[in-house]
Structure 1
Amino acid sequence: MTDPASTHGGGNLAVPRRILGFAPDAADAWIVHLDCGHRRHVRHRPPLSDYPWLGDPAARAARVGAPIECGRCGRGELPDGAAAYRTTDAFDETTLPAGLRREHTLRAGRWGRVEVLAGRLRFVMPALAVDRELAAGEHAILPPELPHHVEPLGPVRMRVVFLRAPAPDLPRES
């Protein structure tokens, strides 16, 4: 799910994510299911992409839990099917918790959306080279496990919506 309002940062940065499993596609390539909720096609086509282990079932299985880059996380794209499960109360510049003002992360597999309801808010996520101002009606996407913080820029009202991606439907033998 691409959300142009949330795509931010330094362009095409990739974020290391853990492989949960593999599923074949119709074109004889492999789809990697990642712990962030994204899926990624992986093909062994040297010299452009070098994944010789894809052709061996035991070698693929050994890669479960290993890191691989996710460009969609780097672009701040929510995984397909991500659904809200909790929303905070609205905070203003005086009630904004100290924990949101200092660097913190969301746990693995959990996403967030910072929504500015009124005023202005500074949103900072150094790993993706993000330092931007959000105005009323704007939002920023929070990928899992990436340090970030917010700072009020005068009077502000904001909230955080927490989301999670559906569990991948992986074949028993990938």
Structure 2
Amino acid sequence: MNYQGSVTLTKTDTDKRPLADAQFDLMNQDEELVLSGLTSNRDGKIEVPHLAPGDYYFVETKAPTGYELDNKQIPFTISNTANGKPETIEISFENHKTPAEITPPDKKKPTIEEKITGKKTELPSEKVVPDRITATSKLPATGDTGAESGWLVVIGLTMIAGVVRFGRR
């Protein structure tokens, strides 16, 4: 008796969610093309009925959008004997997402002025020092006992004492 079998390939992602639109070719043991352009449905399934006994394999020819193509062979065998009705081989095949491309940041985008004039704005290579700070200016430091700050404190305290004293009248 010549038994025939069938195969169901289920295409999923790494989280076991079904993937549609993956395309496969079905090859026999002699590496001859049996069926071409088999496409997974929305449930991620490809069903091939009425296969004669023998060794076969699927090869992915197009991965779903956003997933890597994995062209390794997915082998299975349809037995030449079966008890009862012909067997259905169930196969699962996983796809990995395509890694996100890491692109280097764009070079400095031109300013509006650069777009209009066509000239690049060059930044000076030296440190820019504001005009009001000169090499002879002295900035206050922690614990500084400069006379200027001392006089400001004395004047401020005198004014407060005067307001307190004359404010009570």
User: Which TM-score applies when normalising by structure 1?
Assistant: 0.22
More RCO (CA 8 Å, sep 6+): 1
User: Which TM-score applies when normalising by structure 2?
Assistant: 0.22
Q: Which has the larger radius of gyration?
A: 2
